[in-house]
Amino acid sequence: QRSDISSTGKGGDSGARDALPVPALIPVTAVCLGLFVVGVAGNLLTVLILWRCRELKTTTNLYLGSMAVSDLIILLGLPLDLYRLWRSRPWIFGQLLCRLSQYTSEACTYCTILHITALTVERYLAICFPLKAKVVITKRRVKAVIGALWAFALLSAAPFFFLVGVEQPDNQTDFSRECKAVQSGLLAAMLWVTTSYFVLPVLCLNVLYGLIGRELWRNKVQARGPTGTLREKRHRQTIRILAVVVLAFVICWLPFHVGRIIFINTQNSRMMLFSQYFNIFALQLFYLSASINPILYNLISKKYRAAAYKLLLHYLYNLRILIYIIWTNPL
């Protein structure tokens, strides 16, 4: 039998045991594998670019690089989700991997939204209070903030490590082992906590972007000389990137949280089936969110495109040299 993803992970149905039809699973699997390849390659490229290019080592890009690491970790859990999608029973990877996969996915989910919120706060300070921001916002402090965000995300997701486990009903064979929620009441409470990780930050982001937009409008009216115009242009470029990233985040993660709420309140088999299919859709958007940011950077930022092109040429050149050495010096 097949079932949807465990309710503790990307949403889904751990109660209904009806198998999903293969015609529905094949396109979902193809999309997820495509997102896995694009996402892993893109986020690895982002990390390498921000690590190697000195001109891109800004405080903003420190956040973006850390987000790329978080997205990479999320994407590494995709093969296990696909395994559960095709075959929820038996779970063959053991208790530790069951708990660890759910915990790291949840923690990185929290980490991403915390990074986006912190980055928006930084841009708000830089635009609305530029003199104070020059003193307060330094690379050293930003690195400390990023470390604190990771620690807070890992800590707040800790209950999920104990909410899931490998469950085997009494008097059943080993084939019935399944990685699923084992604490339903506490799980429901924690799912509402994860929803607050979406609703409250989005409200905060709306307020901050409203204040940033008002300040940019004032600066446009008051800007004088080439220095003011250049500073305004740089701020607008940064905000444009962040706005697109936030918009993609909201679009991709809203179904994820809606699906969890539907699952919590499901009372009958018809709604359970709807919840199952809805969360399959949400699963694809969830992994799209972890894959899309490098594409957005490439489309919006000329500096990112130039750095990516330069880095790829460098590695292709080294690859050609390696192939030439192997070809001319056979064993």
Q: Where are the domains of the chain?
A: 22-300, 305-331
Strand segments (E) across 97-200: 164-167, 178-181
Residue 8: per-residue pLDDT? 43
* Pairwise CA distance, residues 109 & 191, whole Å: 13
Which tens digit of pLDDT belongs to each residue from 2-43? 333 444 445 444 433 445 678 878 899 999 999 999 999 999
Do 98 and 122 form a contact (C-beta atoms < 8 A)? no
Q: Is the pLDDT of residue 223 over 60?
A: no
Collapsing DSSP to helix, strand or coil, 181 comes out as strand
pLDDT, residue 168, reads 67
Residue 231: its pLDDT value, please?
Answer: 62
**CB 19, CB 1: distance < 8 Å:** yes
Q: What integer pLDDT is reported at residue 38 of this predicted model?
A: 93
d(CA 210, CA 239): 12
C-alpha to C-alpha distance for 326 and 103, rounded to whole angstroms: 44
* 22-300 maps to CATH 3.60.15.10: no
Across the chain, what does the average pLDDT equal?
A: 79
Confidence of residue 146 (pLDDT cuts 50, 70, 90): very high
75 falls in which pLDDT band (50, 70, 90)?
Answer: very high
Closest CA to 61 of 49, 78, 79: 49
The rounded distance, in Å, linking the Cα atoms of 281 and 243 is 24
Q: What is the pLDDT of residues 264-292, one digit of tens each?
A: 777 777 777 787 788 888 889 989 988 98
- pLDDT over threshold 80, residue 45: yes
pTM of the entire predicted model: 0.80
